[in-house]
């Protein structure tokens, strides 16, 4: 049978064809007899073919004929000799190639041409070995394959090239130095022949000398380069610019691995770059740049900083600590400055929003960073006891008070949610409760609440956060307001049946007192004149109007039923209103938007010499007009009073907790009692304060000291 067309070395399937049974029978019948002359002639023919391949000249013989000659020799058991002779021919050829490299000029300018010659020699050697192997394929697949100690023809070719060319000290050194020089040029921004580098480094890898001859020197040079570069650039560039440079360098090195370096080099290479550009300068980067990046809200650079430090051992730990220190420092400045008290809560909310944005966008919502942020907020916000709690309560009051047009209902709800986040960090929640309760009472009694729904929403949030006991008194205020409305409806019905509207207000007050106490025996009715209000029917030239005014405004306006003009002194003597409150009341009636009184002389402030007369020319588009009383700011005395009330409430809570614990445990040491108290009390307290309360309870016979051990207490039933 005729062999399939085409050259032998182009199809591995051809060997299977030659091993076909019919072909084997054909070859056996037609195989020439082995003689010394035949063997010698056949080898000469094969050697000429190998020489032609090595010298890149044409082969005189048909490739199938050469293949058949090899098979014939192998069949006559001369494979060992054939293999030995083939190896010798190949070795002689490779040895002859070394001279072109030893004699090559040593000028640095010729390093690139040297690399190109080395690459050309390597490429020729590979193609020649493939061609030779295709002719001697039968030898490779039979005799060599059956002898495990013998390398294949391909491996023999690699071994010879490694032994006689690449392992030559001068040649190897020059090759590696040339490759390193090209890589350094590329790192400096020059364009190099990447395909050449890929081929030469692939050669070193195939010859199994890549790690020993190249990689170690390459990593050493890389370490030296980036160590110097890191030191220089940390001095010359700011942190954002430096971070972008590091990211670009890492991208470049990864690209080199993809383009021409061996894959095994990637990990040690990237580790070296990260160590020299990041690890060695990690603290300097954080000290020099983190606070600036956070102050300027540089989101992109913060994101890059997190990604880069995440690659370095201990990087995120260092970033976490620096992040925590920044929050404590920045937040501490907000809280500890009394001159910033007016803006404290808004600045805290803005700061929290900013830090939340950083954790979500830049720190990949890392739970460790989120928890560190919460701990830092809790730490700095309680460095100044009580004041943040007081100001948060007042901030809530400003948002829930009528007249706040800054936010819609949805925006107000979001603001309250943010306030609750800040509220969670506060230890002295009872201080917040005291001020919030006082402000809520004012809003409800004066009718200044912007929205009942918003008020109840805030109560719901507080209840969810602190429990029902915390909000029970606050919820009771709303019940009292509902009850008050019902009582007023009933009282007006009684007045309609019994008294005329011309009765004096004092008489009506007494009537209401009798009415109220008649319905609720055992209660004490206390009047708060500063929080009262009334509706006055008034006649102007334009027509009748109703004025919704406070009690003090009512007393002032009623005087003008008897007189057209009154002085400040006359009004003060007739009403008995305190001087500061009186001037604010007159200011609201004569200097505000609804001026139902005229002041002489004109001006915004009320002086003792001023005189007032009824403004009959007053005009307004509404029938019922609400004239707001000018509110007096909270006095220092009120603040002190509220704080003292909180302190007193805390003493009662401490006493109750001590008695409760001792009643259950009967006998307890001082340290264990203090430990139990810290677990039960929900506000910060000093050990000295606990000791005072314990001494007070001992004096009042709730407990006693052990006679033998003064640090031991016994409960007294």
- Residue 400's pLDDT is 86
Between residues 563 and 129, the one the model is more confident about: 129
User: Does residue 18 have a pLDDT over 60?
Assistant: no
Over 60: is that where the pLDDT of 34 sits?
A: no
Please give the pLDDT value at position 636: 66
Residue 109: predicted pLDDT: 57
Q: Which of 27-31, 536-540, 687-691 is most confident?
A: 536-540
Residues 6+ apart with CB under 8 A from 125: 94, 97, 157, 161
pLDDT of 28 strictly over 60: no
The string of pLDDT tens digits covering residues 505-523 is 777 878 888 888 888 888 8
Q: What pLDDT score was predicted for residue 433?
A: 86
Distances (CA, A) of 418 to 246, 341, 353: 38, 18, 9
* Among the ranges given (13-17, 147-151, 563-567), the one the predictor scored with the smallest mean pLDDT: 13-17
**Helix ranges (DSSP H) in 382-524:** 387-400, 409-424, 429-446, 452-466, 468-498, 505-519
Q: Which of 308-312, 504-508, 551-555, 598-602 has the lowest mean pLDDT?
A: 504-508
Please compute the mean of the pLDDT values over residues 1-7 and round it to a whole number.
Answer: 35
Q: What is the pLDDT of residue 7?
A: 33
Alpha-carbon span 620 to 235, nearest angstrom: 71
Task: Map out the domains of the chain with their CATH numbers.
Answer: 36-165 (1.20.1310.10), 171-278 (1.20.1310.10), 317-468 (1.20.1310.10), 529-634 (3.30.230.130), 638-715 (1.10.10.10)
Is the pLDDT reported for residue 14 higher than 50?
no
For residue 216, the model assigns a pLDDT of 93
If you average pLDDT over residues 656-678, what whole number do you get? Answer: 89
Lowest mean pLDDT among 458-467, 482-491, 594-603: 482-491
Is pTM beyond 0.85? Reply is: no
Torsions phi, psi of 611, nearest 5? -125, 150
Amino acid 290: pLDDT: 93
When mean pLDDT is compared across 17-26, 177-186, 366-375, 636-645, the lowest value belongs to: 17-26
d(CA 137, CA 105): 40
Is pLDDT at 414 greater than 70 in this prediction? Answer: yes
Q: Which residue has the higher pLDDT, 694 or 482?
A: 694
Q: What is the pLDDT of residue 533?
A: 82
The confidence score (pLDDT) of residue 511 equals: 84
User: What does the mean pLDDT of the chain come to?
Assistant: 85
What is the distance of C-alpha 299 from the center of its chain?
Answer: 10
Q: Is the pLDDT of residue 474 over 80?
A: yes
Strand order, beta sheet including 565-567: 565-567, 611-614, 597-600
| Amino acid 680: pLDDT | 86
Query: If you count them, how many residues does the chain have?
Result: 717
Distance CA 442, CA 522 (A): 25
Would you call 91 helix, strand, or coil by DSSP? helix
Predicted confidence (pLDDT) at residue 3 exceeds the cutoff of 70: no
The pLDDT of residue 325 is: 94
**If you write DSSP's letter for every residue of 656-688 in order, what string do you get?**
HHHHHHHHHHSEEEHHHHHHHHHHH-SS---HH
Predicted confidence (pLDDT) at residue 320 exceeds the cutoff of 90: yes
Q: What angle do CA 320, 323, 325 make, to 5 degrees?
A: 110
Q: Where does the pLDDT of residue 252 fall: very low under 50, low under 70, confident under 90, or very high at 90 and above?
A: very high
Question: Can you give the pLDDT at residue 345?
Answer: 92
Task: Indicate left, alpha or beta for 325 from its phi (over 0: left) and psi (-120 to 50: alpha).
Answer: alpha
The pLDDT tens digits for 604-661 are 888 888 899 888 888 888 898 888 877 655 566 667 777 777 878 888 888 899 999 9
Q: β-strand 667-669 against 712-715: which pairing, if any?
A: antiparallel
Most confidently predicted of 28-32, 93-97, 559-563:
93-97
Q: Give pLDDT tens digits for 300-310.
A: 999 999 999 99
């Amino acid at each position: 049978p005729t062999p399939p067309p085409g050259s032998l070395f182009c199809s591995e399937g051809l060997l299977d064809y030659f091993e076909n049974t019919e072909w084997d029978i054909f070859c056996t019948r037609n195989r020439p007899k082995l003689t010394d002359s035949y063997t010698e002639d056949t080898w000469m023919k094969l050697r000429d073919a190998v020489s032609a391949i090595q010298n890149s000249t044409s082969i005189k013989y048909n490739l199938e004929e050469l293949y058949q000659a090899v098979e014939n020799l192998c069949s006559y058991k001369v494979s060992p000799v054939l293999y030995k002779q083939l190896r010798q021919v190949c070795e002689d050829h490779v040895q002859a190639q070394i001279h072109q490299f030893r004699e090559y000029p040593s000028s640095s300018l010729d390093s690139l041409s040297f690399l190109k010659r080395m690459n050309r020699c390597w490429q020729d050697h590979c193609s020649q070995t493939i061609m030779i192997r295709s002719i001697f394929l039968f030898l490779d697949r039979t005799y060599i394959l059956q002898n495990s100690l013998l390398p294949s023809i391909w491996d023999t070719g690699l071994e010879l090239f490694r032994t006689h060319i690449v392992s030559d000290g001068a040649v190897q050194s020059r090759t590696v130095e040339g490759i390193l020089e090209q890589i350094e040029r590329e790192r400096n921004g020059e364009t190099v022949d990447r395909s050449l580098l890929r081929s030469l480094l692939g050669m070193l890898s195939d010859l199994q000398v890549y790690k020993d001859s190249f990689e170690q020197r390459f990593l050493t040079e890389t370490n030296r380069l980036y160590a110097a570069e890191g030191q220089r650039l940390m001095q010359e560039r700011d942190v954002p610019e430096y971070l972008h440079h590091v990211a670009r360098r890492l991208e470049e090195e990864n690209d080199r691995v993809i383009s021409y370096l061996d894959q095994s080099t990637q990990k040690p290479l990237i580790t070296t770059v990260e160590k020299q550009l990041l690890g060695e300068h990690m603290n300097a980067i954080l000290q020099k740049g983190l606070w600036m990046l956070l102050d300027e809200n540089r989101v992109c650079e913060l994101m890059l900083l997190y990604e880069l430090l995440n690659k370095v051992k201990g990087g995120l730990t260092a970033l976490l600590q620096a992040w925590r220190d920044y929050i404590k420092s920045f937040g501490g400045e907000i809280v500890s400055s009394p001159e910033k008290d007016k803006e404290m809560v808004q600045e805290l909310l803005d700061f929290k929003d900013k830090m939340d944005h950083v954790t979500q966008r830049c720190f990949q919502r890392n739970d460790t960073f989120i928890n560190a942020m919460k701990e830092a907020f809790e730490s700095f916000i309680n460095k100044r006891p009580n004041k943040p709690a007081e100001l948060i309560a007042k901030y809530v009051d400003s948002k829930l008070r009528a007249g706040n047009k800054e936010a819609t209902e949805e925006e107000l709800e979001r603001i309250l949610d943010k306030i609750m986040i800040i509220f969670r960090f506060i230890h002295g929640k009872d201080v917040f409760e005291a001020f919030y309760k006082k402000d809520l009472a004012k809003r409800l009694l004066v009718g200044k609440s912007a929205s009942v729904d918003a008020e109840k929403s805030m109560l719901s949030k507080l209840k969810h956060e602190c429990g029902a006991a915390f909000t029970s008194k606050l919820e009771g205020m709303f019940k009292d307001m509902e009850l008050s409305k019902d009582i007023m409806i009933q009282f007006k019905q009684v007045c309609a049946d019994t008294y005329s509207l011309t009765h004096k207000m004092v008489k009506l007050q007494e009537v209401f007192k009798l009415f109220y106490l008649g319905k609720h025996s055992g209660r004490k009715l206390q009047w708060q004149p500063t929080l009262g209000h009334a509706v006055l029917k008034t006649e102007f030239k334009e027509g009748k109007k109703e004025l919704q005014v406070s009690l003090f405004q009512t007393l002032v306006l009623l005087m003008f039923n008897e007189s057209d003009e009154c002085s400040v002194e006359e009004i003060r003597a007739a009403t008995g209103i305190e001087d500061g409150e009186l001037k604010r009341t007159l200011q609201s009636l004569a200097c505000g938007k609804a001026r139902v009184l005229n002041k002489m002389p004109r001006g915004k402030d009320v002086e003792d010499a001023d005189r007032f007369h009824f403004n009959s020319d007053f005009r307004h588009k509404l029938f019922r007009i609400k004239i707001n009383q000018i509110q007096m700011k909270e006095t220092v005395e009120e603040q002190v009073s509220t704080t003292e009330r909180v302190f007193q409430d805390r003493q009662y809570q401490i006493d109750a907790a001590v008695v409760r614990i001792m009643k259950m445990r009967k006998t307890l040491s001082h340290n264990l009692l203090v430990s139990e108290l810290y677990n039960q009390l929900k506000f910060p307290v000093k050990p000295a304060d606990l000791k005072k309360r314990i001494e007070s309870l001992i004096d009042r016979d709730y407990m006693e000291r052990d006679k033998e051990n003064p640090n031991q207490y016994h409960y007294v039933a």
